[in-house]
Amino acid sequence: MSRIDELIAEHCPDGIGFKAFGEIANIVRGASPRPIQSFLTDADDGVPWIKIGDVASSGKYITETAERVTEAGAAKSRRVYPGDFVLSNSMSFGRPYISKIEGCIHDGWLAISGFNDSFIPDFLFHLLRSAPIQSEFARRAGAGTVQNLNADIVKSVVIAVPPIAVQREIVKVLDTFTKLEAELEAELEARRRQYQYYRDALLTFGERTDSTSKQASKQASKQARITTLGEIGSFMRGTGIQKSDFIETGVGCIHYGQIHTHYGTWADETLSFISPEFAARLRKAHTGDLVIATTSEDDEAVAKAVAWLGDEDVAVSTDAYIFRHTLNPKYVSYFFQTEFFQSQKKPHITGTKVRRISGASLAKVRIPVPSDEEQERIVAILDRFDALVNDISIGLPAEIKARRQQYEHYRDRLLTFREAA
- DSSP labels, 61-105: EE---SEEE-HHHHHTSEEE-TT-EEEE-BSSTT-EEEE-S-EEE
User: Are both 109 and 141 inside the same structural domain?
Assistant: yes
Query: Is the Cβ–Cβ distance between 346 and 298 less than 8 Å?
Result: no
Both 274 and 352 in one domain: the answer is yes
Asked whether the whole model's pTM tops 0.75, one would answer no
E strands, 243-310, in order: 251-254, 266-267, 272-274, 284-285, 290-293, 295-296, 304-308
Whole-number pLDDT of residue 214: 47
Residue 182 has pLDDT above 90, yes or no: no
363 and 271 share one domain? yes
296 occurs within a structural domain: yes
Both 217 and 257 in one domain: the answer is no
pLDDT (mean) for 200-220: 59
Q: Domain of 295?
A: 225-369
Q: Are residues 130 and 179 in the same domain?
A: no
- Looking at the structure of the chain, the number of domains it has is 3
Contact 77, 48 (CB under 8 A): no
pLDDT band, very low/low/confident/very high, at 143 (cuts 50, 70, 90): low
- 389 occurs within a structural domain: yes
- Within a domain: 167: no
Domain CATH for 120? 3.90.220.20
In a domain, 117, yes or no: yes
Residue finishing a domain among 112, 138, 161 = 161
Confidence of residue 211 (pLDDT cuts 50, 70, 90): very low
- Of 77-81, 157-161, 324-328, 400-404, the one with minimum mean pLDDT is 400-404
Do 365 and 381 have their domain in common?
no
Q: Which band of pLDDT confidence, cut at 50, 70 and 90, is reported for residue 221? A: very low
Which of the four pLDDT bands, split at 50, 70 and 90, describes residue 421? Answer: low
| 70 and 183, same domain (yes or no) | no
- Using 50, 70 and 90 to split pLDDT, how confident is the model at 190? confident
Q: Give residue 206's pLDDT band: very low, low, confident or very high (50, 70, 90).
A: low
Residues 149 and 38 in one domain: yes
Q: Do residues 345 and 376 both lie within one domain?
A: no
What percentage of the chain reaches a pLDDT higher than 70? 93
Q: Does some domain include residue 345?
A: yes
Kindly state whether residues 306 and 364 are assigned to the same domain: yes
- What integer is the mean pLDDT of 251-259? 95
Residue 94 gets the label, from left (phi > 0), alpha (psi -120 to 50) or beta, of left
